[in-house]
Chains A and B, each alone.
Chain A
């Protein structure tokens, strides 16, 4: 038994045996077989080999099926879910912090009024809070800032700000004006540096030099 020199066709003989060729391939291989004794012999051998190898032990399908597990849909792993939740919390928390800080800066930039309350001599030796109030002076503070302990001896200052005075009602304006009666005004820049705030305007160079 010799081998046909046409390796391409020999390669496809098992596919012809199992009917796995395209119609064009099948026609080409069958044409070749008509004129090639080597391939005819090999094809006959393949048919015999397949037949002999198909003598397989019988298996009991019912026994196999009864041993099969019931289907269980895959469970999603919690580990990844927690990671995603943690990442989302970080993003949301961080984003909120940035927005709040941004809003606070905008609020400071829109100060309509900034006032300082004279120091109370018997102020307690605890950190003093500088408050930047919202438009309604007596409402909940929008921003609270801690002042360093070394400023405790400095005059107690209360800066009051409004986003826009034009937005205040008459009653709110009256209340604000009344409050302002006992207050001295300072600039927003001075409020941001409480230790250096002075109730008096800075003296000019010419005055100090005089």
Chain B
């Protein structure tokens, strides 16, 4: 079987983003609302899954503020969503560094305790997930920070390895390895 590896990029989605950006630059405020509506939820998912915890909404807001402040530097070489993930990730890392300097954060703030993810999601949604989903989230929570980041972007957001590499500042090959290691670790956890 010979399958070309690159997946189809959502061209229509990217074109719609570029159109909205152009409209916002020409003074259409509704375009900004549309852009936020299109990407806020994905950013919140990403932020929550990589350990942003209670300040998810704040992180998402700051991501958009930063992005809109420098939209002229967005060249459209990657998708807008990938670019937003990149900004959110940098912000998260900066916050963790600041917290470490202040002595308020743990050495590895991303590491999540056994039931941490369950509590986090339940508290956020107010919904008690079924046992299967709870186990799945726990499996993700046990991944290393990089594996969790890559796995979330690949499975939850559907990014290609190339896009993931751009978002996390890595290579396609490294992203692929992290994904498959994460999948193996999740399967092992669920099989126990």
Contacts and interface: CB of A to CB of B under 8 A. Distances in A.
Interface stretch (A45-53, A106-114, A137-145, A191-199): A45-53
Please report whether the interface of chain A is mostly helix, strand, loop or mixed according to DSSP: helix
B57 A69 contact: no
Contacts of A51: 133
B159 to A, nearest CB: 9
Interface residues of A, number: 46
A56 B44 contact: yes
A12 B45 contact: no
A61 B65 contact: no
Interface stretch (B93-101, B104-112, B119-127): B119-127
Nearest to A26: B8
Interface residues of B, number: 60
A50 B158 CA distance: 9
Given A1-B191, A15-B158, A17-B158, A32 B1 contact: yes
8 contacts: A17-B155, A53-B45, A54-B45, A58-B44, A58-B124, A59-B61, A60-B57, A74-B72
Given A48-B136, A53-B136, 19 more contacts: A1-B187, A8-B5, A15-B160, A17-B155, A17-B158, A20-B10, A25-B7, A28-B1, A28-B3, A49-B140, A51-B133, A52-B140, A55-B133, A57-B57, A59-B41, A59-B57, A60-B57, A69-B65, A69-B68
